[in-house]
Amino acid sequence: MSTTNPAKRPLLNNSPKLSKTAPVEKKEDRRVSRTRRLLREALFALILENGFDAVTIEEITQRADLGRTTFYLHYRDKEDLLMESIGELVDDLVTQMSHLPPERWRLEDGSFSQMPSPAITLPFQHVTNNASLYRIILRGEGSYTVSRRLRAIIVQACETMIQVLLEKEQLAVLNPQAPMVVILNFLAGAWLGLVTWWLENDMPYTEEEMALMFQKLIMYGTAEVLGVLPQG
């Protein structure tokens, strides 16, 4: 089996490469990190309780047990705090996806139904580890630009998965019945919709279970997963 890097043959000429968008790591003083973490956690909790528009700086600092002066040492306003938090979340997902070696994008033992691909499981794990912020993003809080960026990352991940599958001998030929941009955005939209439902219902399945069900749906199709049999 070939181990060619799947990013070599993009399905979409203008699609961004995960490995090129990974952020540069920055070192930060522990006290600064702690202060920013407390402010982020306070903001997330208040947004989930009352919505972003209703949250005030005073409420954020009270919840974080910090002074207003401390807040303004780090952020211009609550929008600045939210956007930095969402940006860091997206960058972290990009970094993790870009660090996956080609073999981690493949399906174990060539099976679509027994084991989820690590590349499909990883985004669900990322949601589990950052559930509060994903709830905020998928609820529509914050910038539309960030939501588009998250969707673009999922589109790129879907494209990379397809490219890796093309390396397998039995899937050497691709004959799409719709434009690839439509297919990839359909897959990204399906993932985002499924994650939204998962979070809204307090994550009733593990990330591995969600990844395997999503994998079956995209690889087999809804009719086959439903067990629909032809008449006659």
What's the farthest any 2 CA atoms get from each other in the chain?
Answer: 74
CATH code, 82-226: 1.10.357
CATH 1.10.357 maps onto the chain at: 82-226
Which pLDDT does position 22 carry in this prediction? 45
DSSP letter at 177?
Answer: S
- Rounded to whole angstroms, how far apart are CA atoms 212 and 207? 9
CATH code, 27-75: 1.10.10.60
CA-wise closest residue to 210 among 133, 95, 104, 116? 116
Which pLDDT does position 4 carry in this prediction? 44
CA-wise closest residue to 89 among 40, 20, 45, 52? 40
How much helix, strand and coil, in percent to the nearest 5, is found in the chain? 70, 0, 30
> pLDDT (tens digit, 9 = 90+) per residue, 85-129?
888 888 888 788 878 887 777 665 555 567 888 888 999 999 999
CATH 1.10.10.60 maps onto the chain at: 27-75
Which pLDDT does position 88 carry in this prediction? 86
Which residues of the chain fall short of a pLDDT of 70?
Answer: 1-28, 106-113, 141-146, 164-174, 223, 225, 228-232
